[in-house]
Structure 1
Amino acid sequence: MAQRAVARYSSKFSKRRYTLHQHVVLLCLKVRKNTTYRALLDELIEMPRIRRAIGLTELPSPSTLCKALGRLDMAVWQVLLNLSVMLLPTNGVVAIDASGFDRSHASKHYTKRAKLTIQQLKVTLLVDTSANAILDLHVTTTRKHDTKIVPALIKRNTDDVAILLGDRGYDDQKIRVLACEKDMRSLIKHREFSPLHKAWNARLDADLYGQLSQNETVNSSLKRKYGAFVRSRYWWKQFRELALGCFIHNLDQSL
């Protein structure tokens, strides 16, 4: 997949000691093992089979891998995520929901005692409910409302979504109209301000709408496997780290 999505070297002036393909694999392995750069390289000393598989004759330094994460654009990880979706048997029933990831791994006790304020990243996932495949993600550092996030995700994934499931947080007529324009069926609960809204909610297909919980399952799986926080200190690297986790999740599902 890295060979299909990424050039062999970052530029013609590269020293060519390591390829970007090798960097992609090592960065994925770091997130998969939920470890640090230095700990990963210490473990790679005892992994000759993996080094042979990717043609790695000598180990890079931790700073080399850290710089590689900053060098590989978010668009690259987006392409890799799209390629990983093709490995899974999706059916077009897609659930959307958001979750929070901490931007520091400091303990809650420490942050409370030190009176620190650590903002969370808001991560919105599009999850195909049949294969628990992550189709797309949106990450923001602000308190952007859910209804403002959905349109961009719908437009980017028109061909992959047949039925869109969402909770009351996505109750917006503009989203329903946009989904209709893109030939999608939207199953989004209404906020109950009148008896008519209650009647509309009662008419929802309960079995189909119940698949919305698969999104929460995937969110929980990401946090349990790869950690509920991001290790990077810069926001653009944090975004890429989360996209990396989604890509690896799809690979795990396919295996």
Structure 2
Amino acid sequence: MKSLPKSQVLRFTEKAIHLVRRATSRYSSKFPKHRYTLPQHVVLLCLKARKNTTYRGLFDKLIEMPRIRRALGSAELPTPSTLCKAFNQLGMARWSVILTLSAMLLPTSGIVGVDPSGFDGSHASKHYTKRAKLTIQRLKATLLVNAKVNAIPDLHLTTTRKHDSQIAPSLIKRNLESIDILLGDKGYDDQKIRRLARQQKVRPLIKHREFTLLHKVWNAQLNADLYGQWSQSETVNSTLRRKNGAFVRSRRWWKQFCELTIACLVHNVGRSL
């Protein structure tokens, strides 16, 4: 019988497990039960984000995917509650390391754009939130996108109403080695950002807010072809919202941060296939 070709899901699983094994230890504690490894849990959580499904929905799909289970090296399947506990134990620091390594799978360039996007909390019942006196906060995600291959090397997440000009400096400082040219819209028009970028030998290509005729002249002198690559940041934001939805399922803020970081990680691995 002729062997079937590898599907996109199988190729994604093989690349993800190889990547995660480089970034994490085999087990998460000194006294593991040796039933499942930490890389297996990480890749399963990535598959959950890629399929945009629930823990139980992923469990049902994996039952009918023997080749995926073989690629993971697992004869058994973790229950939905086991995966949920694994997600709670994995911190943001670990996900950030894996995200950085996933961006290295692509031939990135030094032209990087920055663009924010908003995500809502999960669609909870309005009646329930009113009776329980809950406040569903809106999450602001600022993505750092490589304009050449649409990779996401880093992101900034906050639940506050922090302005774009206050977010950009931390992204610049964390990614000095991968930024040569920083692209941004008028929301990042701040002299502190421009000064910081030049001090770190980064060329800021950011549009000016047009208060005077001089600002209009400066904007007209921008390199149109180079600045036009900033639109790739909006494209990546749109892709994440279209594939994963414009909301997050988790209720706690730190889980929401991890959830969006996993979505960016899945995006990078998918782009590398």
TM-score (norm 2): 0.88
Post-superposition CA distance 1:134-175 (Å, at most 9, x none): 111001011011111111100110010110011110010010
Cα distance in 1 for residues equivalent to 2:167 and 2:183: 15
Report the secondary structure of 2:105's partner residue: coil
Aligned partner letter, 1:182: Q
Q: Which residue matches 1:122?
A: 140
Task: List per-residue Cα deviations over 1:79-126 (Å, max 9, x = no partner).
Answer: 1111111111211111101001111134xxx64998786321100000
Give the share of equivalent positions with the same residue, in percent: 68
**CA distance in 2 between partners of 1:90 and 1:5 (Å):** 20
Moved more, 171-180 or 62-71: 62-71
1:227 and 2:245 are equivalent in the alignment: yes
Runs of at least 5 residues in structure 1 that lack an aligned partner in the other structure = none
Aligned to 2:173: 155
Stretch deviating more after TM superposition (122-131 or 198-207)? 198-207
* 1:212-251 CA distance string (max 9 Å, x none): 1111100010111122211112111110110001011011
* Residue from 155, 168, 177 that aligns with 2:186: 168
Give the secondary structure class of the aligned counterpart of 1:126.
strand
1:165, 1:188 within 8 Å by CA — same for their partners in 2?
A: yes
**Unaligned ranges ≥5, structure 2:** 1-18
TM-score (norm 1): 0.94
SS of the equivalent of 2:116 reads strand
- 2:22 corresponding residue in structure 1: 4
CA RMSD of aligned residues (A): 1.7
Aligned length: 252
Q: Which runs of 4+ in 1 moved over 3 A?
A: 110-118
- Preserved contact between residue 111 and residue 117 of structure 1 (Cα < 8 Å): no
SS in 1 for 2:251: coil
Q: Secondary structure at the match of 1:215?
A: helix
Any residues of structure 2 matched to 1:56-205 within 5 Å, and which? Answer: 56-106=74-124, 111=126, 118-205=136-223
